[in-house]
A and B are shown apart, each in its own frame.
Chain A
């Protein structure tokens, strides 16, 4: 079974700061999913990627297949970005395994 780690566990930033959240996994995968869980519990899919880089607004996700590592970047962070960010990895024949999440707080 894939082991998924995220760092940092908790992150506090000032509004406007550039934020990076990291995800590493132990076994080769076919897809990686970045999710955002709001304080109320709702989960939103941010990115699904299997190679390279994707950008959506202020969010950028990258993945390095060889190094088994992905990063989620938030530019010009805002208090509404405060949430738990979860990385999930999936491989053929094995469904998604979730990381423990990174709790982000952005202070005004």
Chain B
């Protein structure tokens, strides 16, 4: 498809397990963003990639969270030793260039709904 694709769409797991969330950006989009939206809360920035490098990791809530991007395309967000407060919708977005410098809009995926039991 032409849009941002995220998988899985839903993930239910037990507290303490590790989870891996995947994002396939729009082809050719160099910038990729991860956000989190907790129930009833606003969107929260997690991390931003330009190509394969992450110039801004300031939003990652703890060292249990990590993300990587390979080949300037697919990105994975990994949460280790999940906690109940990690339950949220994790959204990925991509843009043609850095949104802030190029005024390019971000295109969002449908998100992964993560539930920690």
Q: Is the pairing of A and B real?
A: yes
B61 at the interface (CB under 8 A from A): no
A42 touching B42 in the complex, CB below 8 Å, given contacts A48-B99, A50-B103, A90-B99: no
Residues in B52-76 with C-beta less than 8 Å from chain A:
56, 58-59
Q: Are B100 and A91 interface neighbours, CB within 8 A?
A: yes
Q: Are A42 and B108 interface neighbours, CB within 8 A?
A: yes
Q: State the 6 A-B residue pairs at the shortest beta-carbon distance, nearest first.
A: A45-B105, A43-B108, A98-B43, A48-B105, A90-B100, A100-B42
Chain A residues engaging chain B, CB cutoff 8 angstroms: 30-31, 33, 35, 41-45, 47-50, 86, 88, 90-92, 94-101
A98 touching B44 in the complex, CB below 8 Å, given contacts A41-B110, A42-B110: yes
**B86 vs chain A, min Cβ distance (A):** 18
Task: For A40, give the chain B residue with the smallest CB separation.
Answer: B110
Q: Provide 18 A-B residue pairs closer than 8 Å at the C-beta atoms, listed in order of the A residue.
A: A31-B99, A33-B106, A41-B89, A42-B110, A43-B91, A43-B93, A45-B105, A45-B108, A48-B99, A48-B103, A48-B105, A50-B103, A88-B43, A92-B101, A94-B58, A98-B45, A99-B42, A100-B42
Chain B residues engaging chain A, CB cutoff 8 angstroms: 33, 42-45, 48, 56, 58-59, 89, 91, 93, 99-101, 103-108, 110-111
Residues in chain B near residue A30, CB distance under 8 A = 100-101
Task: For B103, give the chain A residue with the smallest CB separation.
Answer: A48
A45 touching B103 in the complex, CB below 8 Å, given contacts A95-B48, A96-B45: no
